[in-house]
Amino acid sequence: MPSLDELAKTPQNINEWFLSICAHVAESRRVIEELSKEDPPTEPFKSKYAGRNMLKSALQRAQSFQPSTDQETSRIRCAQATIFLYIGQVSVDVEEPKEAEKNFQSCLDILGLETTNKYNISLLLHAHNLLAAVWSGRGDHDKAYQLLEKAKELHAGYLHSKLPAPKSYDEIFMDEFSSEERNVMFEKLYTNTLFYLAQVFGVRGDNKQAAAHCHITLQRQLEAEDFDPLDWSLNCATLSQYYVTMNNYQSARHTLACASSVISNVQESSENSTYSDESYDNEKIVKTRADIERCWIKFCVNLLKDSVSDLEASDLSEKVSKITEMKNNFEDEEDKEDSDKKDEGKEEDKKEEEKVEDLEAGEKKEEETQKQDEEDEQKKRKTFSDLVDVEDIELLRITNVESGQYEELVPGELCKTYEDARKVFKAGSKFVENAIKYYTFDGFVTDYVEIKQDLSGLYKNLAVFDKDESRKCKMHKRRVDTLTELVTPLNIQHFRQICRQLRFELGEVKNTMVSLKYSIAVELPQEQQNWKKINNLCFGAIQEFENFCDLLRDPNDKFPDTLSDETVRPYVISQIFIARLYGKFRPMDTSQKLSFLAKAETHFKKALDYYDSHLKQCSGMDLKEEVDVAREMLHFLPRKMEKIRQAAA
């Protein structure tokens, strides 16, 4: 094959010249893609640099060719733009983003001289995607967003034009593809556009659009059968966590079910030896499945947590309604005598007016209902592409996946009863059991602890739905056993932060048990009241909170003057809890009671001293209610202690 220098000196027609350029571009890409795999660790980019130089030489020759017709000009421009894109791709590989940006932009500048057609649309779309990725990597997400939105416009515009299947950007230097293959490759480029947009929306804080674009990317990958099932299932499970944050549990459950279905198929295929790809080794499959199980755990924990919040809000609303009803009844009785004196004729006129108004309102409501039904039906008929920009992303569903059996595992709406909550709890517990088969304590301490803390959260929220206070205590005792089992073997020096979390949570759990035991005891006959156990629980809760506070000390055992922001609220709350617990001990002799009340006073003061001396740091930490109670108690305790002294005198 003649060299490029030799070709440049020899008069040729464009076809002969172009074939030679194609051969040299193919050779450069062979060096880049194949020989680079054999580069030594000391020179990891040796072949890529060599191949890029070959591409630059080919580009130089392409720029020197003098076309004689408009058709030849268009063909040469397309070749130049493609080589610029190849050089940019190599620059990304060798970690030279500035050089990559320059070459991708040159590609777009050249294509900007041409009308969009079937020869350059794929190249345009790909260049926009690649340049957007470069700008995003350099932190300029606004530029990336603009490029990707332009890519969306290009894709939509070409589809709307109903032109033939666009050629691949590689086809200028290689054999042609079939029309079907071209369409697949073109749509894959657009899928990449949506994928990049999902990430850019996420960085820009538009989580709703990020989720919608991610959802549609997953769907398109399925439809094109162009995806890694392990990555796909994990991405799908991760998407569910966004839906959880938006309290959209139906969509969260759906995406999790799809993820579980796909990973189950992979595992089944692997066990039957139908997967020969080395990337699907058992270790990777098991890890991916464990990660999906963890997403299910978070789903269950948050579903129960939000169900508890909804239950508490309903209880509060019911109390307010009863109070309002009593007030209204009282006012109605006062006004009844006056209302009876109203003119009978006016009353009839008013009733007639109300009938007319009710009739008009009924007709209007019927029209609105019909209109809403039509809009809902229209939304259901929308395609995935139509739904990218709509508000109702809960309408999105992933098809082509049999997910029904997994969706039946857990409810998709808030729990109203203990039976509903228990179903979520049992499913969550099973997911915990499966997840820790991979994330063991020996190999994954942090992950194991987090999973077990989620199990504690499942017990905590289930207990709210149980009316039996004795059973509630047993659930919290399970939490104590679980958390104690975690914290006991941990090395404090290496896992100080985790130990703090566990000690504080243990204090909260034991404090809750004290309150439950206390309320049970006061309802029992005096001879059946077991205050010794309650006092022991008080001591246990106090000890856990004090352990937490000790873990805030520095290596020299000195308590810091200023705590880190994440430990301020737990510290102030711990001091207030300790103070309250000292006030719950009973029965005791007078001297011990006074001693414990004095300790309660000391710990209330510790909480207020830190809060008052760090007002700026404590602002916005949701501490005002607790601090106000602590101030009231500091006024109340001295009087209470004085009364006890007087009574004992």
User: Given a cut of 70, is residue 391 above it in pLDDT?
Assistant: no
| pLDDT value of position 320 | 46
Give CA–CA dist 187/364, Å, rounded.
46
Model confidence at 35, in pLDDT bands (50, 70, 90)?
confident
- Helical ranges in 488-528 per DSSP H: 496-523
Q: Give the pLDDT confidence of 115-142 residue by residue, as tens digits.
A: 889 889 999 999 999 999 999 999 999 9
Q: How many residues does the chain have?
A: 649
Q: Hey, is 274 helix, strand or coil?
A: coil
DSSP 95: T
Residue 272: phi and psi, rounded to 5, are: -90, 5
Q: Give the pLDDT confidence of 536-565 residue by residue, as tens digits.
A: 999 999 999 999 999 999 888 899 999 999
**Residue-wise burial string across 554-577, b where 16 or more C-beta atoms lie within 10 A, e elsewhere:** eeeeeeeeebeeebbebbbbbbbb
Q: Give the pLDDT confidence of 404-443 residue by residue, as tens digits.
A: 889 998 999 999 999 999 999 999 999 999 999 999 999 8
> Which has the closest alpha carbon to 508: 558, 424, 569?
569
Whether the CB-CB separation of 572 and 623 falls below 8 Å is answered with yes
Residue 550 in tokens:
């000790």
Please provide the DSSP assignment of 369-400 as one string: HHHHHHHHHHHHT--TTGGGG-S-GGG----S
Q: Which of 56-70, 474-488, 615-629, 631-645 is the least confident region?
A: 56-70
User: Given a cut of 70, is residue 343 above it in pLDDT?
Assistant: no
DSSP 10: S
User: Given a cut of 70, is residue 272 above it in pLDDT?
Assistant: no
Q: Between 179-203 and 141-161, two packed helices, what is the crossing angle to 10 degrees?
A: 150
- Helical ranges in 466-564 per DSSP H: 469-487, 496-523, 531-550
User: Given a cut of 90, is residue 60 above it in pLDDT?
Assistant: no
Mean pLDDT, residues 567-594 taken together? 93
Model confidence at 373, in pLDDT bands (50, 70, 90)?
low
Whether the CB-CB separation of 431 and 484 falls below 8 Å is answered with no
User: Given a cut of 80, is residue 570 above it in pLDDT?
Assistant: yes
**Residue-wise burial string across 41-67, b where 16 or more C-beta atoms lie within 10 A, e elsewhere:** eeeebebbbbbbebbebbbebbeebee
> Cα dist. 496→373, 481, 551 in Å?
57, 20, 7
Domain chopping of the chain, boundaries: 559-649
Q: Between 282-340 and 445-465, two packed helices, what is the crossing angle to 10 degrees?
A: 30
- Does 603 or 368 have the greater pLDDT score? 603
With tokens 């301490």, the residue in question is 445
| pLDDT value of position 2 | 46
Highest averaged pLDDT of the listed ranges 357-366, 422-431, 519-528: 422-431
**Which pTM does this prediction carry?**
0.80
- What does the mean pLDDT of the chain come to? 86
Give CA–CA dist 421/457, Å, rounded.
13
State the burial class of residue 230 (Cβ atoms within 10 Å of its Cβ: 0-12, 13-18, 19+): buried
Highest averaged pLDDT of the listed ranges 162-171, 209-218, 379-388, 471-480: 471-480
Q: Give the pLDDT confidence of 471-498 residue by residue, as tens digits.
A: 999 999 999 999 999 999 999 989 999 9
Residue 391 in tokens:
């508000």
Q: Give the pLDDT confidence of 71-115 residue by residue, as tens digits.
A: 888 888 999 999 999 999 999 999 999 999 999 999 999 999 988
User: Given a cut of 50, is residue 382 above it in pLDDT?
Assistant: no
Share above pLDDT 70 across residues of the chain, in percent, rounded to a whole number: 84
| pLDDT value of position 330 | 42
Q: Which of 26-40, 129-143, 273-287 is the least confident region?
A: 273-287
Give CA–CA dist 406/472, Å, rounded.
30
- Does 324 or 584 have the greater pLDDT score? 584
| pLDDT value of position 257 | 95
| pLDDT value of position 276 | 45
State the burial class of residue 117 (Cβ atoms within 10 Å of its Cβ: 0-12, 13-18, 19+): middle
| pLDDT value of position 642 | 92
User: Given a cut of 60, is residue 356 above it in pLDDT?
Assistant: no
